[in-house]
């Protein structure tokens, strides 16, 4: 049950003190903690990660899948390390685009949104995303959170009603200043149009009376925060551009629309003639998930440890969002990762060019874990990734089939026993090796495997997903070289076979553990075939000699984790 506004208590975490909202006054407080790391081990609360909420006016594309997979990989990585983690994803359902799309479809906006939200939720489920909540901006608790934020902003003096004129993009749901627009030619008609420089979407001149947020006064506070937190926005190149934009000065932000023009949205509290701006509404979803404003400081998962966004929505998440949070006295997210986009044949994906990738079709064709792997190893953070079915097939064959899958087959050969190799190490059996064999053994054990999880962890801390994967793949590759050079199947190797097999088996086990966040389904199967107990699949066990219980029944397995093409549906 929602309490009357005058008796609500907004609760913020850690250095946020309690803020009590009253009809005429509010204390605006800011947290003092400096965030240099997104590692959950530095925090007592669960690691909280978010994706953007996706607009339901169009079908999901490969970019939506990419963002969500990255978030899921980070969540699973934190859980692998023994940290509690929470992931929120969902859909953005208000705004003029939805209102217009529903009209064209001949249905009411809520029904239109129900269909779109279900499609995005099905994609998350299909991609094996371990979200904790699929939030929708039409959810009742979200509306209550948005209304509360509005009241706090208004009572703190950050909101005023005035006439606004400017260039407005319906597609972006945003006003743009003169400096952010340019002339362009509309390809189908050849007519000259005005577009946003940032998004390329058409803008039109609009004049109306609405509410404004005093964004112009927030520039110095934002710059101070940016300077105190040099790794807040990744990658650094975009952070430099952001700082430069804010340093040039900010204009007040229109945060409502006349209800006569935009009815599909949350009504401004106390003013039925206005609808809250969709981006103010949408951004608050990250707080809604935490139970804002009613969750106690001891229970909230806010602030977010990591928020993952596409590079096209940096303005909203790195200027507007922190400005809103500072204004209501809330801590800011610890880190924001902005990734690049996907192209095809180096060209931007678009429906008119017929090169948009359907993520459902891609998963059905290649399998969910193959797609997760491909998106993480080829996806761009700084530079755009170039989507290619040929590359997916090549990487499947090169890394998954011929490397990881083949290593399982070689380690679990019927010619020798994994369990005996583990027992040999456990008992400390001593064998005499010649110089070449000793060199091979020591290199794999003391160089390749030593510190691999720390090397991967460093890459993940920097959100370098491709390099993290390549660190693991290097272990797999070196183990193949080891087995080939050692030729353990030879009759002359019988006395040293188990001894020499042990580090190869460990390389496979450790690699399987570290790959779980990226390919959870396939690695569950691989570790199962090695008979690694579920309790031994965590971070502490990803080191040499940490598990002597696996391997029984692993030798001679005929199952393939990554079968050759064409892949049968049951093998995906």
- pLDDT by residue (tens digit) across 208-262? 889 999 999 999 999 999 999 999 999 999 999 999 999 999 999 999 999 998 9
Asked if pLDDT for residue 5 goes beyond 50, the answer is no
Return the percent helix, strand and coil in the chain, to nearest 5.
45, 15, 40
Give me the pLDDT at residue 42, please.
53
Tens digits of residue pLDDT in 447-495: 999 999 999 999 999 999 999 999 999 999 999 999 999 998 888 899 9
Q: Which residue blocks in 388-450 are alpha helix, DSSP H? A: 389-395, 406-411, 418-427, 435-443
Spatial distance between the Cα atoms of 47 and 258, rounded to a whole number of angstroms: 39
Bridge-based pairing of strands 47-55 and 271-276 is: unpaired
Residue 24 has pLDDT above 50, yes or no: no
- Given a contact cutoff of 8 angstroms between Cβ atoms, the answer to whether 395 and 374 are in contact is yes
> Given this model, what pLDDT does residue 297 score?
84
Closest CA to 238 of 317, 320, 334: 317
Distance, C-alpha 129 to centroid of its chain: 10
Q: How many CA atoms lie within 13 A of 420 on its CB side?
A: 16
**Which of 111, 112, 153 has its CA nearest to residue 276?**
153
Residue 177, token pair as written in the block: 């200043």
3 state SS of 189: coil
In the structure, what pLDDT confidence band is assigned to residue 20 with cuts at 50, 70 and 90? very low
What is the model's pTM? 0.87
To which residue do tokens 């002359």 refer?
A: 492
Q: Which two tokens stand for residue 354?
A: 């017929």
Pairing between strand 9-10 and 19-20? antiparallel
Query: By CB neighbour count within 10 A (0-12 exposed, 13-18 middle, 19+ buried), where does 172 fall?
Result: buried
pLDDT (average), residues 526-553: 97
pLDDT at 14 over 60: no
Do 102 and 77 touch, CB atoms closer than 8 A? Answer: no
Q: The tokens of 470 are what?
A: 């390549």
List the one residue out of 460, 308, 493, 465 whose CA is nearest residue 380. 465
Helices 418-427 and 497-514 cross at an angle (nearest 10°) of 100
- Kindly indicate the confidence band of residue 165, based on its pLDDT and cuts at 50, 70 and 90: confident
Confidence of residue 192 (pLDDT cuts 50, 70, 90): confident
Mean pLDDT of 557-570: 76
Three-class SS string for 128-157?
CCCCCEEEECCCHHHHHHHHHHHHHHHHCC
- Quickly state the pLDDT bin for 551 (edges 50, 70, 90): very high
Write out pLDDT tens, residues 76-99: 999 999 999 999 999 999 999 999
Q: For residue 45, is it left (φ>0), alpha (ψ between -120 and 50) or beta?
A: beta
Question: Which residue has 């030879």 as its token pair?
Answer: 490
Domains and CATH numbers, the chain: 5-22+38-363 (3.40.50.620), 388-571 (1.10.730.10)
Please report which confidence band the pLDDT of residue 37 belongs to, taking 50, 70 and 90 as the band edges. very low
DSSP 379: -
Report helix, strand or coil for 505: helix
Report the pLDDT averaged over residues 415-427: 94
- The phi-psi region of residue 291 (left if phi > 0; otherwise alpha if psi is between -120 and 50; otherwise beta) is left
Mean pLDDT of 336-350: 92
Nearest to 80 by CA among 547, 394, 515, 525: 515
CB-side neighbour CA atoms (13 Å) of 16: 25
pLDDT confidence bin for 202, thresholds 50/70/90: confident
**The pLDDT of residue 25:** 30
Please determine, for residue 338, whether its predicted confidence score (pLDDT) is greater than 60.
yes
Dist CA 225 CA 45 (whole Å): 22
If pLDDT is split at 50, 70 and 90, which confidence band does 190 have?
Answer: confident
Whole-number pLDDT of residue 179: 80
Band of residue 568 on the pLDDT scale cut at 50, 70, 90 = low
Q: What percent of the chain has pLDDT over 70?
A: 90
In our burial notation (b when 16+ CB lie closer than 10 A, e otherwise), range 145-154 reads bbbbbbbbbb
């Amino acid at each position: 049950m929602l309490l009357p506004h005058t008796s609500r208590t907004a609760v913020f975490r850690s250095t946020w003190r309690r803020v009590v909202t009253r009809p005429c006054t509010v204390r605006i407080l800011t947290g003092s903690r400096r965030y240099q790391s997104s590692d959950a081990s530095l925090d007592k609360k669960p690691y909280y990660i978010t994706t953007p909420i996706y607009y339901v006016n169009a079908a999901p594309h490969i970019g939506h899948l990419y963002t969500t997979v990255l978030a899921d990989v980070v969540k699973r990585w934190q859980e692998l390390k023994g940290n509690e983690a929470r992931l929120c994803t969902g859909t953005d359902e208000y705004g003029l685009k939805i209102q217009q799309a529903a009209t064209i479809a001949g249905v009411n906006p809520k029904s239109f949104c129900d269909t779109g939200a279900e499609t995005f939720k099905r994609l998350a489920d299909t991609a094996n995303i371990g979200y904790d909540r699929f939030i929708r901006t039409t959810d009742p608790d979200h509306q209550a959170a948005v209304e509360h934020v509005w009241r706090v902003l208004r009572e703190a003096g950050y909101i005023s009603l005035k006439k606004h004129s400017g260039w407005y993009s319906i597609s972006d749901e945003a006003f743009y200043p003169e400096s952010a627009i340019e002339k362009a030619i509309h390809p189908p008609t050849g007519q000259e149009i005005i577009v946003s420089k940032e998004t390329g979407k058409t803008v039109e001149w609009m004049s109306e009376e609405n509410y404004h947020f005093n964004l112009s006064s927030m520039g110095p506070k934002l710059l101070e925060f940016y300077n105190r937190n040099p790794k807040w926005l990744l990658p650094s190149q975009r952070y430099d551009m952001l700082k430069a934009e804010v340093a040039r000065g900010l204009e007040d932000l229109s945060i409502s629309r006349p209800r006569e023009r935009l009815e599909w949205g949350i009504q401004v509290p106390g003013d039925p003639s206005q609808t809250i701006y969709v981006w103010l509404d949408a951004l608050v979803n990250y707080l809604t998930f935490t139970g804002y404003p009613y969750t106690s400081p001891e229970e909230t998962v806010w602030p977010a440890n990591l928020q993952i966004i596409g590079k096209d929505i940096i303005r909203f998440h790195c200027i507007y969002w922190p400005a809103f949070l500072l204004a209501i006295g809330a801590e800011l997210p610890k880190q924001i990762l902005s990734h690049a986009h996907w192209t095809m044949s180096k060209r931007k994906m678009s429906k008119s060019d017929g090169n948009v990738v359907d993520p459902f079709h891609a998963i059905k064709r290649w399998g969910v874990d193959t797609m997760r792997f491909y998106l993480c190893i080829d996806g761009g953070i700084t530079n755009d990734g170039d989507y290619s079915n040929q590359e997916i097939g090549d990487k499947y064959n090169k890394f998954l089939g011929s490397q990881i899958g083949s290593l399982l087959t070689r380690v679990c050969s019927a010619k020798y026993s994994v369990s005996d190799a583990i027992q040999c190490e456990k008992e400390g059996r001593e064998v005499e090796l010649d110089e070449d064999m000793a060199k091979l053994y020591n290199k794999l054990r003391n160089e390749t495997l030593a510190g691999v999880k720390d090397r991967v962890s460093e890459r993940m801390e920097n959100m370098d997903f491709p390099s993290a994967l390549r660190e693991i793949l290097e272990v797999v590759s070196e183990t193949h070289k080891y087995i080939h050079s050692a030729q353990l199947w030879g009759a002359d190797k019988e006395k040293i076979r188990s001894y020499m097999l042990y580090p190869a088996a460990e390389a496979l086990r450790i690699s399987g553990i570290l790959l779980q966040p990226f390919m959870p389904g396939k690695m569950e199967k691989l570790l199962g075939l090695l008979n690694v107990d579920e309790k031994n699949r965590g971070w502490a066990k990803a080191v040499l000699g940490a598990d002597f219980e696996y391997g029984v029944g692993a030798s001679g397995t005929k199952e393939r984790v990554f079968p050759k093409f064409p892949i049968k549906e049951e093998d995906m």
